[in-house]
Structure 1
């Protein structure tokens, strides 16, 4: 068995570097989990989609949906709109 001896200052510096690295890894993992959770919740209700697009009329939203310009999902009578699809549509309408 070998005994390794550190100076007090070196030991504290090593511990500090270890803690900084550990916090950095934990923060990155937390960000990854948060991003994955946001991707899972990509669905918007009709009201949320209207608000995101700045529309007042449901008819315009229905036209965009029927022309397949934005993606939607249907479960029974309930329709949910893809947030990514709406944002992509809005970005495609940008005038440069």
Structure 2
């Protein structure tokens, strides 16, 4: 197989202070889930739950079964933590 038989994609996972970007080549027909598994990102970030993934491509929400295209940037989303202070501040806002 030549390089033309593969797609170049990125798998990205961002935390508060750091971002992990893994570049890899996948075969056409590869899904988001398969690319994430193939990237090995879970070994660096064991908190990633492959059973309950929230993922997207270029900030557009997708399912893990979505097939990738050449140049796609797979983004693994995580739950955002909201502090009590932020929750209280937001609940105090009143529209006039």
- TM-score when normalising by structure 2: 0.25
Of Structure 1 and Structure 2, which has the larger fraction of its residues in helix? 1
Larger radius of gyration: 1
- TM-score when normalising by structure 1: 0.25
Kindly indicate whether structure 1 or structure 2 has the higher relative contact order, using CA contacts under 8 Å at least 6 residues apart.
2
